[in-house]
Structure 1
Amino acid sequence: MQPLRLTSITEIQNPWKRKGPEESFSNTKLVHSFQETFDTFIEDNMYMDLTTKLIALKVSESVVALKSVTGNEPLFMCSGTIIECVSINGAYQSKILTSASLLRSPTSPNELAQDVKVQVYLYDGTSFEAQDFLFDWHYNIALVKIQSKQPLPVAVVRQLDDGICVDPSQQVSNKGEILSSFQLRSHSDYVKLRPGDSVVALGRFHEEPYNFMAAPGKFSLDCCNRFNCKELSKASCKISKCGIGGPVINHRGEVIGMTFYHELYTPFLPTNIASKCLEFRDKHGKFSRPLTGIEATNLHAAPVDKLEEVMKNFPGIIKGVIVEVVMPESPAASVGILPGDLIIQCAGNNVQSFLEFFVIILDKVGQSVEVMVMRKGSTVPLNLTLVVSEVNTDKLHRWPLPKERWVSYEETWLDI
């Protein structure tokens, strides 16, 4: 007798549903496996609307599969994005942004696997062995380089701007959307993203026929609690392990981040951070790992009572970052930054989101930066000099992955 499968709301209401999932002849399923594709158990990924499919297809040829081996043993399988292709001496060198987990030692997480080799698979099945790679364990990013006779398709990469003005006088549309705070910056590399905006996580499977995979979702303000990397953003997309390192795109098909794996959502590293890290590596021969000792949240993410308090204490302030935690004996603690402070400027730049604040200090390790904060009880801003320290190698971010496990067939449809 086949196990009972509960009918989901998606299955009832999704007008794009074409057919039900294939019946299983087993009472159990293997989950968190590199053999899962995005639509193995996830109905939202099976029945995407045409608009989402067309957006994803704008980027598909730039999305690759990667497979690493150490000696003759499989090591890791993931996805990546071609972000650059240049002509060098009659050939073409392409750079692929992906996860450093592709290269990690299975026994020592912050060391390069012994005798590691990487194979890259394109959308048409063509494969290349990686010629070189750069990697950073802290932010879990890698840049894999391959060489080809023909130019390869490059994705459009944009910087994420998630800042929102908190101004009660802003106009609101009939749909409840704020009209005045989402004007694009004059710099075309930036794109606005607000909570609830549609995004799509993409990947490519690592076995023939190297299928393209997509997972639609929404951008979220929520934290990625399993990960201690506070710079991660979050989307409601549900991917599989082999999607790690793939791109997150916005509604125009522009890459705004690189994915990691959680069974219930998709954490992603904004392209702002990845690109700034790689730029720093090119200039200084190492990756930047700044430490301030601050955990903060965007002003617009604060509860409404907190916003009222900020507006009462700091009239006219509509942008900033609220300090939530200051680590003891940290650079922030040493200059007197306190929980509840509102950071409004850093290094002479107005700050409207934690992402913006972090990108400013990302290449300031070992340097002093001027930080302007508003503090309850003070009528004028406080100017503080913050010395940006560096994360110790024994304090690098952790990147946990759930282990493969067998679950009942019903569990895969309820929520794994």
Structure 2
Amino acid sequence: MSTNEISGSNELCAQDPEVMTFYNLRGSDKTTILRKKELQRLRKERIENKCFRKKEKIRKAKEIVDNALKIREELHQKYLRAEPWLKEQERQRLERNKRFTTEIINQPPDYRGEWDPYVSDDEFGTSFELKRTGWEVEKFALDLARSTVGLESFTGENHLFSCSGTIIEFLNGICSVVTSASLIRCMDKDEQADELKINVWLPSGEKCEGFISNVDLYYNICLVTVHCTSNLPKKSFNDDTGFFDLYGNHSKDVVALGRSCEPWSLKVASGKLIPRRHRFDCEELLVSSCKITKIGVGGPLMDFNGNIVGMNFYDKKETPFLPSFIVLKCLQHFKEFGKVVRPLHGLRVGNLHKESLASLEKICHEFPKVCGVIVEKVEPSAEHSEIKVGDIITHLDGMAFSNAAEFGGILLDRCVTQMLEKQNLSEDCNQMISLKFSVKTRGGISEATTRTINTDKFTPSGLNRWPLPRPIIVRQYARGVLFSEDWYS
């Protein structure tokens, strides 16, 4: 390239870009160039603003952190200054916790559910329990309700038990109520509780004070007297044993009655007589399918003809009851001797109908149409009689019976006869009672043999167990003094 050409090229490069439109292939004019410059300026300004905002954000964040550190330091200094006061407050709180303590008695292990009130009548029948039985049965129940009372007992200021009872006598402003001895029994032992106070809720809703007259812990029965100005209707227990003949074709429908104290209300539950012996120790107990609660303990059991056929006790699955004729014999003993007298013969017997079907088949094959009781246990005092476990007793002193309740009734009558003849009853008496049993031995001869037991001892009052569900007791103490006690189950 020549020197002139090079100099010409340099001159072109040195010219103002705005003038050099010749080399712009897009053909941009001066306005376009100015617009591009403006866009470049705006972009640069946005970048600068973004950087400024970022720096400002960092500055503010640093200020927040510095303020937080400053506040934390101030709080730490305040805590250091208040530490002695806080320690004193903690010491006082611990001291207060020592003053208020909680004690839980009979707490079930590993139970995570809610506890229910120990005394509750929510499961005692339904409001329309008797509607399906007919108006006649409902009338009988309402008539018996006029003689059904509610009872509650206290030891000092502590509630002990609530149950029901039946008015059996009213004379000269004094009424007698028969109920269960669970009303006055200690929860942890078979003894009468101390410092007893009894409230009796009459069918009218009136509350009166009751007094213990007689107690027998063997049959778990007690008699309460109440002073009352109003005339109260009385009811008698039925003395007929025919209803308890489980081999008969008569109706076995029953109604259990009870009365709650607070709130005051009548409770009923219907069911049937069940051919089964209960798990309680008392041999004379029978069982019904009525669903009651502890409120119904001591209350009457009625058949569909309006007769009182028993006194109820409580179990969760079924309702054991003491037959009415046994209750009547206990009341007779209370009247004659002040206590129940029953000979200690050394035998434990049970009803035949509680045996398994296979065992009953063998018994019926060996002894057709046999009635009586089966021997379940022989105490050392009765071994000399040669009566053995599995033997069947059909008669006592020549009197036939069909179940253990009737067997127990004959024993009670036998004591009354003997005692009234001699008119001499004491704890240390040596009155010999001779009991003659007609026994059929299984696997032996088919004829009954007579076995004799002579005894001068009487059944102790606390021989039978009458277990109730143990309450869960929650006690609150303030400075070692009990101020609250709640019962649950």
The residue aligned with 1:155 is 235
1:79 correspondence with 2:146:
no
Regions of 4+ moved over 6 Å: none
Residue 359 of structure 1, CA deviation: 0.8
Distance 1:270 1:29, change over 3 A: farther
Match among 253, 256, 277 for residue 201 of structure 1: 256
Corresponding letter in the other structure for 1:54: K
The separation in 2 between residues aligned to 1:310 and 1:75, in whole angstroms, is 46
Post-superposition Cα deviations, 1:83-108, rounded to whole Å, max 9, x if no partner, equal 1223xxxx33211110112112355x
1:140 correspondence with 2:191:
no
The separation in 1 between residues aligned to 2:349 and 2:186, in whole angstroms, is 33
The separation in 1 between residues aligned to 2:352 and 2:152, in whole angstroms, is 41
Higher relative contact order (CA 8 A, sep 6+): 1
The separation in 2 between residues aligned to 1:164 and 1:97, in whole angstroms, is 26
- Percent identity between matched residues is 32
Post-superposition Cα deviations, 1:349-395, rounded to whole Å, max 9, x if no partner, equal 122222111111125465112111222432432111123543346x6
Report if aligned partners of 2:348, 2:375 keep a CA contact under 8 Å in 1: yes
Report if aligned partners of 2:285, 2:405 keep a CA contact under 8 Å in 1: no
Distance 1:137 1:302, change over 3 A: closer
Match among 110, 135, 141 for residue 56 of structure 1: 141
Post-superposition Cα deviations, 1:243-292, rounded to whole Å, max 9, x if no partner, equal 21111111112111111111111111112222212212322233224433
- Residue-pair matches, total: 339
Corresponding letter in the other structure for 2:175: S
The residue aligned with 2:266 is 212
Distance 1:105 1:404, change over 3 A: closer
The residue aligned with 2:439 is 373
1:329 correspondence with 2:380:
yes
The separation in 1 between residues aligned to 2:398 and 2:390, in whole angstroms, is 21
Report if aligned partners of 2:126, 2:268 keep a CA contact under 8 Å in 1: yes
1:31 correspondence with 2:116:
yes
Report the 3-state secondary structure (helix = DSSP H, G, I; strand = E; otherwise coil) of the residue aligned with 1:218.
Answer: strand
The separation in 2 between residues aligned to 1:104 and 1:297, in whole angstroms, is 26
The separation in 2 between residues aligned to 1:32 and 1:257, in whole angstroms, is 27
Corresponding letter in the other structure for 1:141: I
Report if aligned partners of 2:275, 2:353 keep a CA contact under 8 Å in 1: no
Report the 3-state secondary structure (helix = DSSP H, G, I; strand = E; otherwise coil) of the residue aligned with 1:288.
Answer: coil
5+ residue gaps in structure 1?
1-26, 166-180, 183-191, 407-415
Report if aligned partners of 1:63, 1:203 keep a CA contact under 8 Å in 2: yes
The separation in 1 between residues aligned to 2:364 and 2:219, in whole angstroms, is 35
Alignment of 1:6-405 (within 5 A): 30-31=115-116, 33-34=118-119, 36-37=120-121, 40-41=122-123, 45-50=126-131, 51=134, 53-86=138-171, 91-106=172-187, 109-159=189-239, 160-161=241-242, 162-164=244-246, 181-182=248-249, 197-208=252-263, 210-225=264-279, 227-300=280-353, 302-314=355-367, 318-331=369-382, 333-364=383-414, 366-376=432-442, 377-388=444-455, 389-392=457-460, 396-404=463-471
Post-superposition Cα deviations, 1:136-178, rounded to whole Å, max 9, x if no partner, equal 122111111112233311124213432355xxxxxxxxxxxxx
Please give the TM-score of this superposition, normalised by the length of structure 1: 0.73
Corresponding letter in the other structure for 2:226: I
Report if aligned partners of 2:375, 2:393 keep a CA contact under 8 Å in 1: no
5+ residue gaps in structure 2?
1-111, 416-431, 474-488
The separation in 2 between residues aligned to 1:311 and 1:240, in whole angstroms, is 38
The separation in 2 between residues aligned to 1:386 and 1:345, in whole angstroms, is 14
The separation in 1 between residues aligned to 2:471 and 2:157, in whole angstroms, is 22
Please give the TM-score of this superposition, normalised by the length of structure 2: 0.63
RMSD across aligned C-alpha pairs, in angstroms? 2.8
Report the 3-state secondary structure (helix = DSSP H, G, I; strand = E; otherwise coil) of the residue aligned with 2:118.
Answer: coil
The separation in 2 between residues aligned to 1:373 and 1:275, in whole angstroms, is 28
Larger mean CA deviation between 61-70 and 356-365 belongs to 356-365
Distance 1:295 1:163, change over 3 A: farther
The separation in 2 between residues aligned to 1:277 and 1:204, in whole angstroms, is 23
The separation in 1 between residues aligned to 2:314 and 2:246, in whole angstroms, is 27
Please identify which structure carries the higher helix content: 2
The separation in 1 between residues aligned to 2:291 and 2:362, in whole angstroms, is 37
